[in-house]
């Protein structure tokens, strides 16, 4: 009897392993789409915002360079300034392959890992063409550097705000035998007034997406049909 149970368990394990192998995604959807070129897709000037090359050194990316090169196919870091002199730091990370081994690293983890203190985390929405995009706001500081930030992530064509949302999106693609790409958009300001910073970041987000060519927008804010 014991041998029979062991045999059944062995067969179930082999079946499970076989199904897992058979369902392993093999098609990288990024290979079926126009290639990503963040530097050209995101304009250096739009609305009242202009890239401020003199302030590029303000950007403090909370991920080590080796990790960035491993995880992401492309990154973009710029500082923009408006007519009133208000500065916004934009950081976009794109990964062609969002498999279990290669995942977007969210600011919630990256900032504390680099010495920042996260004092508040809250969900929010950014309205893009009257469409609400789910995002996250963090209040962070490193010594006297107070950096409120807004970020959102896109897996394939779907905006994901929680780990559960992200996993569901990845499983949806996996069931179709496809491997999604992923993008993280982070917008931050060095500002002690968090509410002012968030208002400016939302305006910047709307202006930026409006300036991206329509055929590329879904790569940055997802496809409304799948939300």
Interval 30-87: pLDDT, tens = 788 888 999 999 999 999 999 998 865 445 555 555 555 556 778 899 999 999 999 9
Residue 77's beta-bridge partner residues? 91
Percent residues over pLDDT 70 in the chain = 77
- Measured in whole angstroms, the distance separating CA 74 from the mean position of its chain's CA atoms is 12
**pTM value?**
0.80
Q: How far apart are CA 125 and CA 53, in angstroms?
A: 29
Cβ neighbours of residue 26 under 8 Å, at least 6 residues apart?
177, 179
Q: What is the pLDDT of residues 75-134, one digit of tens each?
A: 899 999 999 999 999 999 898 876 544 456 788 888 898 889 999 999 999 988 888 999
What residue segments make up the domains of the chain, in order of their start?
26-226
- Secondary structure (3-state) at 98: coil
């Amino acid at each position: 009897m014991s041998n029979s149970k062991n045999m059944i368990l062995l067969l179930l394990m082999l079946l499970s392993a076989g199904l897992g192998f058979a369902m392993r995604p093999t098609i990288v959807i990024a290979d079926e789409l126009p290639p990503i070129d963040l530097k050209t897709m995101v304009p250096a000037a739009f609305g009242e915002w202009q890239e401020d090359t003199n302030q590029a050194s303000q950007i403090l990316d909370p991920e080590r360079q080796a990790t960035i090169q491993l995880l992401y196919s492309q990154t973009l870091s710029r500082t923009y300034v408006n007519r009133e002199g208000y500065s916004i730091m934009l950081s976009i990370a794109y990964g062609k392959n969002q498999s279990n081994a290669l995942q977007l690293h969210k600011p919630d983890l990256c900032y504390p890992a680099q010495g920042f203190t996260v004092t508040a985390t809250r969900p929010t929405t950014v309205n893009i063409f009257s469409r609400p995009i789910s995002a996250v706001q963090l209040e962070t500081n490193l010594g006297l550097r107070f950096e409120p930030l807004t970020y959102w992530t896109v897996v394939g064509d779907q905006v994901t705000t929680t780990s559960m949302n992200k996993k569901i999106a990845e499983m949806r693609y996996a069931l179709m035998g496809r491997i999604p790409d992923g993008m993280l958009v982070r917008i931050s300001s060095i500002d002690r007034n968090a509410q002012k910073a968030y208002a400016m970041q939302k305006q910047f987000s709307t202006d930026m997406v409006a300036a991206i060519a329509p055929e590329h927008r879904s790569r940055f804010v997802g496809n409304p049909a799948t939300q």
